[in-house]
């Protein structure tokens, strides 16, 4: 069975959601390209990036969507969410305001996509230990209350970034297979 013959078994649309500057684009850059932009502007994002993964010997493609900064204006369109089966709901552990916004993003996600979209709450910038404003316990508690997976990541030092995406993709795979 050559690579050419291998068929594409699954394609999952996954969306990145959360306030501006929480690190959505850098989480995707780290995961898909192992890159990090210390002074990134909202324009670095691509519309989506497709990443191949292997789960139980099956090739799975995660099509991961990033915003082009429109979340700053609360203007993420329904087309962005349409067809999504997974979501990373991202806040910045060093800015409480971004954690307080999670409820609003969750509402928006549920308004525009299937209620069963597999969602992980992601507390990004875990490297900023001295600037932490949201405890791990608070993140966990919110995730439990809303029925979400939970993880803290750092796009800067790479910790838990791949795991965060993999958790979502694995769960979708288990639900659909």
Q: Which residues bind Mg ion (CB under 5 A)?
A: 24-25, 45
Instruction: At 42, list the tokens.
Output: 């909202």
The H or E element containing residue 131 is none
The DSSP code for 95 is -
* Six token digits for residue 63: 């099509």
Q: Which does 23 bind (CB under 5 to 8 A by kind): ligand GDP, Mg ion, none?
A: ligand GDP
Buried-state track 138-158, b at ≥16 Cβ within 10 A, e below 16: ebbebbeeeebbbbbbbbbee
Cβ proximity of 13 and 86 under 8 Å: yes
Is the CB of 58 or the CB of 103 nearer to ligand GDP? 103
CB of 44 to ligand GDP, least distance (A): 6
Output 3 or 130, the one with its CB closest to ligand GDP. Answer: 130
86 binds, among Mg ion, ligand GDP, none (CB under 5 to 8 A by kind): none
The residues that touch ligand GDP, with contacts defined as CB under 6 A, are 20-26, 37-40, 42, 124-125, 127-128, 154-156
Q: Which is nearer to ligand GDP, 22 or 120 (CB)?
A: 22
Closest contact distance (angstroms) between CB of 54 and Mg ion is: 28
Closer to ligand GDP by CB, 91 or 173: give it: 91
In the complex, residue closest to Mg ion by CB: 25
Sign of the CA dihedral 30, 91, 12, 84? Answer: negative
Residue 17: which of 88, 118, 74 has the closest Cα?
A: 88
């Amino acid at each position: 069975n050559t690579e050419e013959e291998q068929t594409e078994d699954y394609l999952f649309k996954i969306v990145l959601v959360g306030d501006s500057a929480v690190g959505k684009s850098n989480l995707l850059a780290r995961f898909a390209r192992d890159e990090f932009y210390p002074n990134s502007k909202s324009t670095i994002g691509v519309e989506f990036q497709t990443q191949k993964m292997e789960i139980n010997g099956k090739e799975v493609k995660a099509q991961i969507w990033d915003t082009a900064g429109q979340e700053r204006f609360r203007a993420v369109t329904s087309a962005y969410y349409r067809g999504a089966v997974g979501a990373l709901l991202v806040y910045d552990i060093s800015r409480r305001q971004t954690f307080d916004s999670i409820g609003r993003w969750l509402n928006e996600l549920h308004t525009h996509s299937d209620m069963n979209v597999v969602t992980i709450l992601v507390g990004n910038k875990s490297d900023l230990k001295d600037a932490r404003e949201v405890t791990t316990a608070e993140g966990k508690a919110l995730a439990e209350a809303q029925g979400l997976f939970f993880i803290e990541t750092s796009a800067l030092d790479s910790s838990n970034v791949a795991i965060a995406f993999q958790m979502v993709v694995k769960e979708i795979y288990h639900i659909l297979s």
